[in-house]
Structure 1
């Protein structure tokens, strides 16, 4: 007798799960029904800033698999259909067709929740005015591009200076806008320590982007036409023809909360290693709506990244399909760029280490991406955290130019393996003048961290 799998959300985690389950079980053994409230499936949300900025020419280049392609693989994908209620005891979901308004219940044997995250949209005067955009989905990206095409002015304000904020600042610069970034933090990129964030601030200012830190937005000012005209803080107003919210995202877990499913401190669903929702044998969850294990600090974290979402989906699909897989956790690796500046981090910041009760030392070095004499060698700064007593690597942050960001992958592997900084210095990394100095910058930082550990006793 056939079972029915219901999937809520048709992007990375949801459709990876559905596709993997279908590979393992045919239609006679497993019926798959998926609901998506938006107009697109299986797309790269991480590519949206580069589409908005023009580096990616066409929207469809970001789409890995269309709804029709999923349907050809015997997945009943229902677009523009929003799930409005979970009946966990009755093992069914209520859905509403957003075009016709029709509502109906669908029973499930197994359920996958992949509802993603939503942009933080603070309750401020004017926040819903025309010209104010959050950017999380392809629909959001299209709405922003439509606004840019219809706007005569060339002034843009980005509210927030995290990954989304700096990437959207670059996109708007590429579009020829004068960009102001308003950030309530001490420095941009709160995922970095402030001393590394200062490097980002200085580089963005050097690109002509106006950086406003330590500033709380108090409202969005509108004109007689009700459209946005400025962003207000306690001390100033910044003219704007378009506003992009880059404050971050939160797990989209309203359905799960209403159904009584377990949520973590940051509002994400809690799962076991198989991505099964804790305490519910027939419900799985993955992607931006879950919290995952931090392998360095040992706690649960919400990290919204497509890399994790796709892995979650593969794990879920394998388990739903009768195979077995696990997702052990993350070390918090992320990379970004703004114009020619590359930004990377993995592991813990100083405040993360303090919150985890760890004693630590730091080491910061400057180096180059290639041998100093080789053409194109670019500067980078590497900061490393190590546990004071054991020398265990705790975190790495890198800010630099071409060739800087992906060096963080070495540190990510070392963190996963729980290596010490002394062990890190002995890694046999590739060397040739076009690719690295004799001592790679990550190894130089590790050597300095070893010295700091020894001095700390």
Structure 2
């Protein structure tokens, strides 16, 4: 019997996790695997790029989990600098272009895995593609930025966008001696938080010497006589810049999927079932930043570009293609970040998410410390919790603080996944010792206050 053919589009987390897992389950005599990657690198941590830029980690080798050569040693025909330009679903084949030579060829498949990731938001504005304007989506992007930074002793940098990438890049450039301005369209940075929690982030960033400008809509990148970026223009002001970083978010990269007629959701991501099989297509799978996933709290699909999810998707796909069985049930939307010593975390729904889902809710916000108040070095922490008004079901948690703040959100993430009420959370048996927590952990203090709010709200 001839070996089955598995074709993977995209050589990063989802695609290569799928290929590796399928290879573990089926040898080359039973499954041929061909993977196409348009870049130079595979299986790398894009999340680590800001820490490479800041100098915390060396790179790019430190950010690569498995090189193309290592994949090839495992009998995976990995073709870098090769871009898939067409998916022929009825014919069960893809057309790929060698970016070095321009030659094109068709490759047939029995199983197709789409792991095309996400593309950064890059609005069609004057100067947006000028030299001196950088994205930070791939290791090639990171290398291009570092090549520019080499030999420079600071300057003026403008970061457009104040999400995870924006605040992390602001820190990285601040530490490299740059005068940093962050412009963003929302009133407060970190729109993944509610505005009252985002305000805490802004205050901390201002205290670090990072200038934040909210409510600012980008209109153009202004260039000098040499064509390089020299300033960022918004509707209200102009900000001089020696370099510009774009951190305006990402969208699912589903151009190929759309052209092939595959089903897309409200956010433009591929729609799959729990096995990560594209809906309505028995032999087409998708995972990573190009798909939409089920939100276990709201019950709706959403787009979340996180490497944690992408690797899990790949494991599920690889298990299923390899003859096993696995599912990906959904997410609660947990994410953490930092800017210098400020830690930022969220899981579940924000207030506007809950309203959009038609949920009635109460909120509770508490201020506490990461360790017992009398223990040397105790630092402040703010925890905000949302609970469903009638049932007391936990809907979301946000945390802003310093040492030990961010990973506390995992308590709430587990509670959300389990469908716990805030009252049930108050009895959780968490670890305690003065260096690690007050007697009542800040998350449990927030849960207790949320219980009071639920009871006060009644029906």
How would you bin the TM-score normalised by the shorter chain?
Answer: over 0.9
CA RMSD between the two structures = 0.7
2:273 corresponding residue in structure 1: 272
Q: CA deviation at 1:236?
A: 1.1
Aligned to 1:26: 27
Separation in 1 of the partners of 2:282 and 2:148?
A: 45
**Deviates further, 187-196 or 372-381:** 372-381
Gaps of 5+ in 2: none
Bigger shift: 430-439 or 144-153?
Answer: 144-153
Task: Give the 3-state SS of the residue equivalent to 1:115 in structure 2.
Answer: coil
How far did residue 58 of structure 1 move?
Answer: 2.6
Kept after mapping to 2: 8 A contact 1:153/1:241: no
Check if 1:159 corresponds to 2:160.
Answer: yes
TM-score (norm 2): 0.99
In structure 2, the residue matched to 1:201 is 202
Q: Measure the CA separation in 1 of the matches of 2:382 and 2:154.
A: 37
- List gaps (5 residues or longer) in structure 1: none
Structure 1 residue aligned with 2:255: 254
- Equivalent residue number for residue 101 of structure 2: 100
CA distance in 2, matches of 1:403, 1:298: 31
Provide the C-alpha distance between the structure 2 equivalents of 1:347 and 1:153, rounded to a whole number of angstroms.
Answer: 39
Q: Work out the CA distance in 1 between the residues paired with 2:197 and 2:84.
A: 42
Match of 2:386 in 1: 385
Hey, what does 1:397 align to over in structure 2? 398
After superposition, what is the alpha-carbon deviation per residue over 1:235-259, rounded to whole angstroms, capped at 9, x for unaligned? 2111100000010000000000000
Report the equivalent of 1:234.
235
Please give the alpha-carbon distance, in whole angstroms, between the structure 1 residues aligned to 2:275 and 2:152. 48
Between the aligned partners of 1:238 and 1:151, the Cα distance in structure 2 is 20
1:448 CA displacement: 0.2
2: distance between equivalents of 1:256 and 1:352?
Answer: 28
Cα deviations by residue, 1:277-333 (Å, 9 ceiling, x for unpaired): 000000000000000000000000000000000000000000000000000000000
Q: State the distance in 2 between where 1:291 and 1:94 align.
A: 25
Does the CA-based 8 Å contact 1:386-1:395 persist in structure 2?
A: yes
SS at 2:451 equivalent: helix
Residue 124 (structure 1) shift: 0.9
Deviation, 1:376, is: 1.8
Structure-to-structure mapping, 1:407-426, within 5 angstroms = 407-426=408-427
* Conserved 8 A contact 1:148-1:242: no
The CA deviation at 1:150 is 6.1
Cα deviation, 1:15-71, whole Å, max 9, x if unaligned, reads 000000000000000000000000000001111110011100231000000000000
Deviation at 1:234, TM superposition (A): 1.6
Corresponding residue for 1:318? 319
> Any idea what the Cα deviations from partners look like across 1:218-248, whole Å, max 9, x if unmatched?
1111111110110011221111000000100
TM-score by length of 1: 0.99
Aligned to 2:211: 210
Structure 1 stretches of at least 4 aligned residues deviating more than 6 Å after TM superposition:
none
1:148 Cα deviation from its structure 2 partner: 1.6
Q: For 2:147 and 2:58, how far apart are their aligned partners in 1?
A: 15
CA contact (8 A) 2:154 2:176 kept: no
Question: Where does 1:132-151 land on structure 2 (aligned, <5 Å)?
Answer: 132-149=133-150
In 1, Cα distance between the equivalents of 2:152 and 2:240?
14
Distance 1:204 1:236 in 2: 20
In 1, Cα distance between the equivalents of 2:154 and 2:60? Answer: 24
Pairs within 5 Å for 1:117-136? 117-136=118-137
Aligned residues: 457
Query: Is structure 2 residue 449 aligned with structure 1 residue 448?
Result: yes
